[in-house]
Copies of this chain bind each other. A is one copy, B any other.
Amino acid sequence: MNAHSNFQASMEHFSYEHLSQFTYDILKKIGCPDEDARIASKVLLSADLRGVDSHGVARLSVYVRLWEKGRINPNPKVRVTYETPSTAVVDGDAGLGQIVGSFAMKVAMEKAKNVGTGWVSVKNSNHYGIAGYHAMLALDQDMIGISLTNASPLVAPTFSKERLLGTNPIAVAIPAKEEPAFVLDMATATAANGKLEVLQRKGLDTPTGWVQDKNGNATISSSGVKDGGALLPLGGDREHGSHKGYALGAVVDILSGVLSGANYGPWVPPFVAFLDPLPNLVGEGVGHFFGAMRIDAFRPAEEFKGHMDQWIRRFRSAETTPGHEKVLIPGDPERELEIIRKLEGIPLLDPVVQDLSELGKKFGVQF
């Protein structure tokens, strides 16, 4: 197909190291301390490695523009404002979500070390990159990691014409023994906005159940959201279970926003600099929620991980439906892509390359 090959032709590959160094340099220029710039680049680039291109280096200039507007604090004093032995609330001081999230996940893991589990709700933060990164921090501590965040409203609940929820992802990372870890990292919408953008560029329609138009009618137009419509919750419509996707996104919103004192629902500040936050906000910044559960707070970690291997092997070796080679384990596609992209580089679209070059010029950093 012509549209497809045009699309392929407009990609250029860059090494992980190059993009990582560039991101670090830019973050230093806007005033991030050394360690923060290092962490934030790592989180951002992990999205590119794992194939969630919409959450990686392609968004670097959005963070910079939010900093220019004073909506991101490059040198935040992230701190615990309230805690019990197994819980905490973290105030992100308007910092980069990548920094705030890493801090909060560490607090959760520290609490898990002490009392078995740790649960941290975060306010006054910003977009934190891919949810899975933070959850996966728990893996080498033999803990189960959980990471949720709310986000700017793009999703319409079942029967709603209005966008009231973000794509509010759920990530759960569970360690295994010889098998790679089980890593769920999913938006609670049928498909996240990044996939729409790809189809739009190719001039292709979406499958049913992804989008509604500005009047609230189902559409397969890949520009449906851009034209004032909304993404649909996982399930697509009521008959196919969209009330479940909506409810899951709502739980993510409540644990991230209402529990911490961040904004929630339609009040979550937009992740673009050209739209201002709503007046009369109900909380502070974006909200996240993190959990860490020490495996051996339930049963010996080695025993658990042995059973995880058995779980994974049984599912991976299941008889398949016609036309499919194997059943995937959550995390398989991302891990496989990560290996390829570390070797072959990260593909960036021409508009992204141009955007990053300009960003480099502006700050005197070579791209």
B297 touches A84 (CB 8 A): yes
Partner of A85, one of B82, B86, B248, B283: B86
A304 touches B160 (CB 8 A): no
Contact code string A263-278 (vs B, CB < 8 Å = 1, else 0): 0111000000000000
A293 an interface residue at 8 Å Cβ cutoff?
A: yes
List the one stretch of A36-44, A68-76, A310-318 in contact with chain B: A310-318
Q: Which of A82, A304, A315, A324 has the most CB of B within 10 A?
A: A315
List the one stretch of A47-55, A99-107, A183-191, A358-366 in contact with chain B: A183-191
A212 an interface residue at 8 Å Cβ cutoff?
A: yes
In the complex the two chains form, what is the Cα distance from A283 to B310 in whole Å?
Answer: 12
139-196 of chain A: CB within 8 A of chain B: 144, 156-162, 164, 170, 172, 174, 182, 184, 186, 190-191
CB proximity of A78 to chain B, nearest CB, Å: 17
Supposing A254-B174, A254-B308 touch, asked if A157 and B299 sit within 8 A by C-beta, the answer is no
Closest residue of chain B to A121 (Cβ to Cβ) is B298
A326 an interface residue at 8 Å Cβ cutoff?
A: yes
In the complex the two chains form, what is the Cα distance from A209 to B239 in whole Å?
Answer: 9
Supposing A217-B322, A327-B160 touch, asked if A87 and B298 sit within 8 A by C-beta, the answer is yes
B299 touches A259 (CB 8 A): yes
A355 an interface residue at 8 Å Cβ cutoff?
A: no
CB proximity of A82 to chain B, nearest CB, Å: 7
List the one stretch of A24-32, A112-120, A346-354 in contact with chain B: A112-120
Q: Which residues of B contact A207 (CB under 8 A)?
A: 239-240
CB proximity of A174 to chain B, nearest CB, Å: 6
B327 touches A157 (CB 8 A): yes
A126 an interface residue at 8 Å Cβ cutoff?
A: no
A234 touches B245 (CB 8 A): yes
Copies of the chain in the assembly: 2
A282 touches B299 (CB 8 A): no
Partner of A243, one of B239, B240, B243, B330: B330
Q: Which residues of B contact A326 (CB under 8 A)?
A: 159
Partner of A247, one of B84, B87, B184: B184
CB proximity of A123 to chain B, nearest CB, Å: 9
A320 an interface residue at 8 Å Cβ cutoff?
A: yes
Q: Which residues of B contact A84 (CB under 8 A)?
A: 115-116, 294, 297
Q: Which residues of B contact A294 (CB under 8 A)?
A: 84, 87
A251 an interface residue at 8 Å Cβ cutoff?
A: yes
In the complex the two chains form, what is the Cα distance from A121 to B304 in whole Å?
Answer: 13
A85 touches B217 (CB 8 A): no
A250 touches B184 (CB 8 A): yes
Contact code string A317-348 (vs B, CB < 8 Å = 1, else 0): 01111101011101000000000000000000
Closest residue of chain B to A186 (Cβ to Cβ) is B244
A324 touches B86 (CB 8 A): no
Closest residue of chain B to A81 (Cβ to Cβ) is B299
B311 touches A160 (CB 8 A): no
27 contacts between A and B (CB under 8 A): A82-B298, A87-B294, A87-B297, A115-B115, A144-B255, A144-B259, A156-B321, A159-B320, A160-B318, A160-B320, A161-B318, A161-B319, A174-B254, A184-B250, A186-B243, A190-B240, A212-B321, A234-B234, A234-B241, A235-B235, A240-B240, A243-B330, A246-B330, A250-B315, A254-B308, A259-B295, A264-B311
> Other CB < 8 Å A-B pairs besides A158-B327, A208-B240, A216-B321, 5 of them?
A157-B327, A174-B254, A207-B240, A246-B330, A258-B307
